[in-house]
């Protein structure tokens, strides 16, 4: 082992023996453990079904996050954040909030290489600008969830990490997340998730009810004998094949149940695969930005012409009305003149 020597004013110390000692190595391991996210102690439940499986970790606690404060902050966010699925069930006071990347069609999604280009959700940008502490806490939770995903599903996490880092969140394999509080879902599958990936759902808060129900019959219908109910409490982390498993949540009876669901969308992963074959994701995103700028410029010109036409149209109508008024006055004058001539 090469020596490591430091010199002071009076003595020279050789620290090689210290670095080689067991005491020092234990300190290094302890420091590394403190620097890395703490994962559950390895005790978890696994449920296997015909179309996938579900891993359940209990009593999870993301380091450095006050979950009570985070839940309160999320619930008190402006209603504009909770726009998704708000109208699906009239009993929901708020819908779901989403962050990350999406390829949903719209003005902000031009075609690049024949596919809708991904863009960062407006909620994500709003959080970054106006609620940075909440965004930071969400990032810590996602990082913790990802550390467990890598241990529970190494093959799927490796596939998710193939997506370019420009489209992934907080150095994880997730490209998108959803947040909801006391949200009652219908039977569904998350079919937009990445084909060879998994979804993680972290549940926190104090509540009763809200258990995860999985229909092992591969049907969307509630068949009592085919439904597996997995109990849920604050600190439960689910990692599973939500894309292929029909699932819902039992009624939430009391309390406040908040979830953060993290996943990778298949359309984002597909766009990334195509982009990497056509010059890289940076070039693809630059093309996206250019086309968005061009579209906005055209829209600006179109709005200007539309406003100009409205102004011209209004002036023409004013002129027509003025002409009509003049004609009426002239007609009235001639009638009066004719009446006067008869005397």
Pick the closest to residue 121 from 69, 176, 172 (CA basis). Answer: 176
Cβ-contact 242, 89 below 8 angstroms: no
The per-type count for the chain, helices as H runs and strands as E runs, is: 8, 17
Pairwise CA distance, residues 124 & 134, whole Å = 11
Contact 194, 266 (CB under 8 A): yes
How many other CB atoms sit within 10 Å of the CB of residue 3?
9
pLDDT at 79: 85
The tens-digit pLDDT sequence of the chain (343 residues) is 433 333 333 333 343 443 344 443 443 333 333 334 455 655 789 999 988 999 999 999 999 999 999 999 999 998 888 876 555 454 445 678 999 998 887 777 889 999 999 999 888 889 999 999 999 999 999 999 999 999 999 999 999 999 999 999 999 999 999 999 998 888 889 999 999 999 999 999 999 999 999 987 765 555 556 889 999 999 999 999 999 999 999 999 999 999 999 999 999 999 999 999 999 999 999 999 998 888 888 887 888 777 777 777 677 677 677 777 777 777 776 677 666 665 5
32 burial via Cβ count (<10 Å: 0-12, 13-18, 19+): exposed
The pLDDT assigned to 292 comes to: 86
Q: What is the pLDDT of residue 30?
A: 34
* C-alpha gyration radius of the chain: 31
- Kindly tell me the sign of the dihedral angle through the C-alpha atoms of 277, 278, 280, 282: negative
Cβ neighbours around 150 below 10 Å, total: 17
- In the chain, % of residues over pLDDT 90: 55
- Backbone φ/ψ region at 10: left (φ over 0), alpha (ψ -120 to 50), beta: alpha
217 closest CA partner among 238, 181, 187:
187
Q: Rounded distance, CA 292 to CA 303, Å?
A: 16
88 exposed, middle or buried (CB, 10 Å; 0-12, 13-18, 19+)?
middle
As a whole number of angstroms, the distance between CA 202 and CA 144 comes to 10
Structure token digits, residue 124: 């994500």
Q: What is the reported pTM?
A: 0.76
CA distance 299 to 305: 10
Alpha-carbon torsion (59, 85, 191, 230), positive or negative: positive
Query: Which DSSP symbol is given to 198?
Result: -
For residue 37, the model assigns a pLDDT of 47
Token pair, residue 222, equals 């509630």
Q: How many CB atoms lie within 10 A of CB 51?
A: 15
Q: State the maximum Cα–Cα separation within the chain, in Å, rounded to a whole number.
A: 135
CA angle 309–311–313, rounded 5-degree value: 65
């Amino acid at each position: 082992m090469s020596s490591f020597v430091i010199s002071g004013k009076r003595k020279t110390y050789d620290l090689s023996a210290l670095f080689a000692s067991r005491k020092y190595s234990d300190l290094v391991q302890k420091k590394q453990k403190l620097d890395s996210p703490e994962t559950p102690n390895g005790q978890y439940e696994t449920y296997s079904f015909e179309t996938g499986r579900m891993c359940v970790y209990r009593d999870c606690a993301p380091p450095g996050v006050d979950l009570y404060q985070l839940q309160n902050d999320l619930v008190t966010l402006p209603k504009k954040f909770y726009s998704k699925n708000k109208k699906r069930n009239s009993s929901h006071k708020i819908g779901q909030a989403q962050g990350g990347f999406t390829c949903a069609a719209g003005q902000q999604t031009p075609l690049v290489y024949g596919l809708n280009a991904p863009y960062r959700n407006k909620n994500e940008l709003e959080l970054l600008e106006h609620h940075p502490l909440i965004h930071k806490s969400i990032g810590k939770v996602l990082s913790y969830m990802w550390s467990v995903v890598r241990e529970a599903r190494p093959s799927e996490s490796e596939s998710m990490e193939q997506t370019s880092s420009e489209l992934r969140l907080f150095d994880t394999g997730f490209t998108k997340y959803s947040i909801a509080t006391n949200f009652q879902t219908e039977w569904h599958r998350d079919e937009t998730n990445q084909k060879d990936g998994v979804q993680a759902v972290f549940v926190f808060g104090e509540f009763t009810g809200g258990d995860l129900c999985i229909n092992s019959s591969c049907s969307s219908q509630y068949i009592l004998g085919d439904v597996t109910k997995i109990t849920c409490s604050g600190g439960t982390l689910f990692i599973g094949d939500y894309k292929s498993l029909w699932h819902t949540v039992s009624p939430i009876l009391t309390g406040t149940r908040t979830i953060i669901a993290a996943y990778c969308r298949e359309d984002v992963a597909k766009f990334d695969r195509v982009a990497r074959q056509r010059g890289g994701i940076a070039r693809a995103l630059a093309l996206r930005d250019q086309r968005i700028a061009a579209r906005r410029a055209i829209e600006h010109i179109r709005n200007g012409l539309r406003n100009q036409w409205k102004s011209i149209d209004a002036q023409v109508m004013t002129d027509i009305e003025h002409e009509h008024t003049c004609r009426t006055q002239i007609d009235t004058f001639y009638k009066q003149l004719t009446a006067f001539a008869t005397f």
